[in-house]
Chains A and B, each alone.
Chain A
Amino acid sequence: MSAVWRASRAAVKRRRLQTVVIGLVVFCSTATVLLALGLLDAVSNPFDRAFEKQRGAHQVVLFDAAKVSAGQLAETAGRPGVAAAAGPFDQATARLEKSPPGVGSGAFRVVGRADPAGPVDRPELRDGRWATATGEIVLNEDGDLVRPELLGSKVQLVDGPELTVVGVYSSMSSSADAWVTPEQMAALHPTARQMLYRFDAAGSAEQLESGLASATAGLPAEARTAARSSASLEEAFSGTAKAYLPFMTVFGVLALLVSVLIVANVVSGAVVSGFRHIGVLKALGFTPNQVVGVYLTMVSLPAVIGAVLGTVLGAALAQPVLRVAFQGVMRGTAVVEVSPWVYLVCLLGLPALVAVAALLPALRAHRLSAAQAISAGSAPRSGRGLRVQRALGGTRLPRAVSLGLGQPFARPARTALTVAAILLGVTTVTLTTGLTSTMVQYADSGKRDGGASLDIRVGRAAFEQTEPKLTDRQMEALLRSLPGVERVSAQAISQVKLAGYQQSSAGFFLRGDQDPGDIRQIVEGRPATGAGELVASPTFLSQHGLAVGDRVTLELEGRRTTATVVGKSIDGDARFFFSTWATLLELEPSAGAAYYDVRLKPGADVQAYVDAVRAAEPGLYPGVVDDGNLAADTVVSFASVFTVLLTVVAALGVFNTVLLNTRERRRDLGMLKSIGMTPRQVTVMFVTSMAVLGLLAGLVGIPLGMVAHRVLVDNVGSVDFPAVMKDVWHLPELSLLALAGVVIAVLGAYVPARSAARLTIAKVLHTE
């Protein structure tokens, strides 16, 4: 056994507690870092991975078959900037007469393709096979679940043939709702041609636009009827996650910073406190390199164990956390998981960080002579620290307190790292409590007043459901008449075009009782109440260049009406707007409700109401609605997890600092106790030394956390928080937060302080 290994092993054994602390800090830090990096990676990457695997289309472009020939389109494949192209494929937009449950209603994009291969957009097989004959159809399905019942089921097109489902594929390009053979397509009388392009440069929206312009240059004007870029697909993919991506990023960065600081503090402190030992090793004949080797081995051992265990814990936490984060997100074939590089960074990066943190002070010791190292290990501090101690000695404070207040000045570098760690801890706690408060209010704003909420859909034969016998108004009257009901509103959804915009939007038209919750959802203006009024989300308004007060023209099957934007909601989908029934009647006089939103009285029997509805009208399909807010729940959960992890890490950092101080000051402690310092005074002295840092960190960390909170909530693109949700700070909360740093510091300091108080004086003074 080499001398270095023997000395390292002895040092690890002799400093068991410190070894455990280093291991624990690295363990918690690794888990935190893995979670943080894993989240950041998972939010941005799964779409790209799956998209590239399928050679997804950067642009899916639709042309009017009457205005451009297949030959002209085929030539666009060779245009500058086009890396690959597929098509032209004929496309028909069909309406479904009958389809299996869960297969889309309304407009249904059917594309004629001979096979799923090709240079662009290779849909991935999920079940069955590709269509090879007329009468066969292949569905494009998202989601995790494979539904074997789809194979063999029938799809009946309005005024068209009945087709048999022979396969289910998934296209990350979302190039169609279904595919048939080119021969079958001819029978569907296609009016459009589809081209799929991949470009040399597709890193930004501008590049996607210029690629499209280059590919379609020279084609007849107005031949292009629609185009969808991969950017909008990605937006749709991670739209839900993006609502809280800024929060995740900040949590991740904070977690990284706190972890790095604490690890650096703990490890460098361990080496600095070992200077005397280093001097002894040198005196024994260890070469400077051997000394550095001893110390690197000593800290690397617990660091490697901590990193491995931390990676295991982080991996175990990451999967359920990612599941929560991506709940309800359209995923296609994308697999949401932590990339291998994240594990690699954690397994190698944290021990490397520990090695670097140990190396710096070890190299300093490397340069010192044995005598210098020994004296540095027990050296009196000089300069400012002494002056501060002296000044404090003259104050009226109890001496144990003034001694404690002076301690941090003895080791300014260690103090600075400790303060930084607590400061970041306090900033995190402030930020997370603020976010939690904002998100709880945000979640509450989405909740409706009263008891349970029911979503009652009107049955449609196209979905193989029973059609109702009662009329729209009769159904509403029925729902109002049943026991337990408090409010009823009817809703219709129609694809409405806004004049001047290519894409149509989904208009939600409401009739009946307005829920007071709707008013809470309005961040600017007011809810829509009269004819020609609409309300939309911040993203809808920004994407359409609209603001509250603007007027737009709505078009539906040849009818037009004007509407004024009277309100902006807190959040919502960029494709939806909300208006009144009176507005819908202008566009579609015979419109009927697609579903009814029923709110029961608090305490009403939900099941009894549902049974009553089913018995009275079998054509109504009631379902209980969960008012929960996924984004809010996710942020609150993450905030809690990160707060706990970072508080533990910060407290461990403080614990370690006090431990080192205690070890370095054993002789002083023995002396102080020998002249009558009580155990309580010793505890007070050490706890004070950290509490003052906690207070300082609190005073700086709170404003920092408040600023971070404001910056974050102001930059969530999909949510526009009203002032009341952003002004979450009040005196009681701030007072409690001011104590947060002190609490973290005291939590970390108390145990080693108590242990210092119990030191056996005779032993200490004897060993010194």
Chain B
Amino acid sequence: MTTDHDSDRQVVVQLDGVHKEYGDLKALDGVSLEIRAGEAVAVMGPSGCGKSTLLNMVAGLDRPSAGTVRVNGHDLGGLNETGLALFRRRQVGMIFQFFNLLDDLPALDNVALAAQLTGTPAKQARHRALELFEELGIADRRNTYPAALSGGERQRVAVARALMNRPALLLADEPTGALDSRSGEQVMDLLIDLNQIGQTLLIVTHDPKLAHRCASRLVEFADGRVARESALERQL
């Protein structure tokens, strides 16, 4: 579901008849979906309905059994493992429910790492990471190891890492699922701010509050299919 205004914008994500099977289990059953630049799309549905599988397909973390996935002009089906890695490096940023930070690196190095993998020199990468830390209000925690950070702080570090290479698309898998309500609020505010400055978002969540606060469009999943799509009014 898109508006006329939306249709002028570039398509960032395009899924066409995507199927994914794990043995006898159909995780995705012919999903077709478009997300345009600047959109914030929330995907909701019961457990096991295929939400996370959809996210994995878009992130290039998994391959569909059938159908095509195009992200920012890249047909992911045509990329090999290295191609997918380069795609993830440049085109998408991911935020996970359980943060997935490297425990043996301080917060700033966790974030700088994403840029260093692209060949950015360490000093430059740290400089860029520090800018993000300042924007996200965690600059004073830059030298702290993940184990000593609060949940909200860890998730902000994860957001900083996801933004490090200026991705075309930010993917979030239950970004507030492991956080207390206050930290969850902070992360939601952060996602809204990012979307307002033009960052395209795809959020998978169980949390209606997160969907309604952060997303402009809601995609509801059931049994591996898109059951319903609707535009959302953001609840500030």
Contacts and interface: CB of A to CB of B under 8 A. Distances in A.
A33 to B, nearest CB: 37
Contact of B85 (A406, A679, A760): A679
A473 interface: no
Contacts of B86: 676, 678
B100 A670 contact: yes
25 contacts: A381-B104, A386-B145, A393-B109, A393-B113, A393-B116, A394-B123, A399-B116, A668-B103, A671-B100, A671-B101, A672-B117, A674-B59, A674-B94, A674-B96, A676-B88, A676-B117, A678-B82, A679-B81, A680-B82, A681-B117, A758-B81, A761-B62, A765-B61, A765-B100, A768-B98
Given A380-B104, A393-B109, A676-B85, A399 B117 contact: yes
A390 B109 contact: yes
Interface of A: 379-381, 385-386, 389-390, 393-396, 398-400, 406, 410, 667-668, 670-681, 757-758, 760-762, 765-766, 768
Contacts of B93: 675
B89 A675 contact: yes
Interface in B56-72: 56, 59, 61-62
A673 B61 CA distance: 8
Contacts of B155: none
Contacts of A757: 81
B117 A677 contact: yes
A668 B102 contact: yes
Interface string B102-133: 11111001001110111101110010000000
Given A386-B104, A675-B117, A678-B82, 5 more contacts: A380-B145, A380-B147, A386-B105, A670-B100, A677-B117
A121 B74 CA distance: 93
Which one of B86, B117, B118, B161 has the highest number of Cβ atoms from chain A below 10 Å of its Cβ?
B117
Interface of B: 52-53, 56, 59, 61-62, 81-82, 85-90, 93-94, 96, 98, 100-106, 109, 112-114, 116-119, 121-123, 126, 145-147, 161-162, 165
A672 B103 CA distance: 12
Given A668-B102, A768-B98, A762 B61 contact: yes
B82 A676 contact: no
A551 B230 CA distance: 114
A690 B53 CA distance: 35
The 3 A-B pairs with the shortest beta carbon distances in the complex, nearest first, are A676-B89, A380-B103, A678-B85
A676 B61 contact: no
B88 A380 contact: no
Contacts of A399: 113, 116-117
A758 B119 CA distance: 22
Contact of A667 (B56, B89, B100, B161): B100
A494 to B, nearest CB: 79
Main secondary structure, interface of A, reads helix
B26 to A, nearest CB: 16
B106 A390 contact: yes
A459 to B, nearest CB: 80
A676 B101 contact: no
A380 B105 CA distance: 10
A386 B144 CA distance: 11
A670 B85 CA distance: 11
Nearest to B106: A390
Nearest to B102: A668
A677 B114 CA distance: 9
Nearest to A409: B104
B104 A406 contact: yes
A761 B145 contact: no
Nearest to A763: B62
A606 B109 CA distance: 77
Contacts of B87: 676
Contact of A674 (B88, B116, B118): B88
Contacts of A674: 59, 61, 88, 94, 96, 100
Contacts of B161: 675
Which one of A396, A678, A758 has the highest number of Cβ atoms from chain B below 10 Å of its Cβ?
A678
A400 B117 CA distance: 7
Contacts of B147: 380
B22 to A, nearest CB: 10
B145 A678 contact: no
A766 B52 contact: yes
B76 to A, nearest CB: 13
Contacts of A406: 104
Given A393-B113, A760-B62, A762-B56, A679 B82 contact: yes
Contact of B122 (A394, A670, A760): A394
Contact of A675 (B88, B121, B145): B88
B61 A393 contact: no
B177 to A, nearest CB: 13
Given A765-B96, A768-B98, A676 B104 contact: no
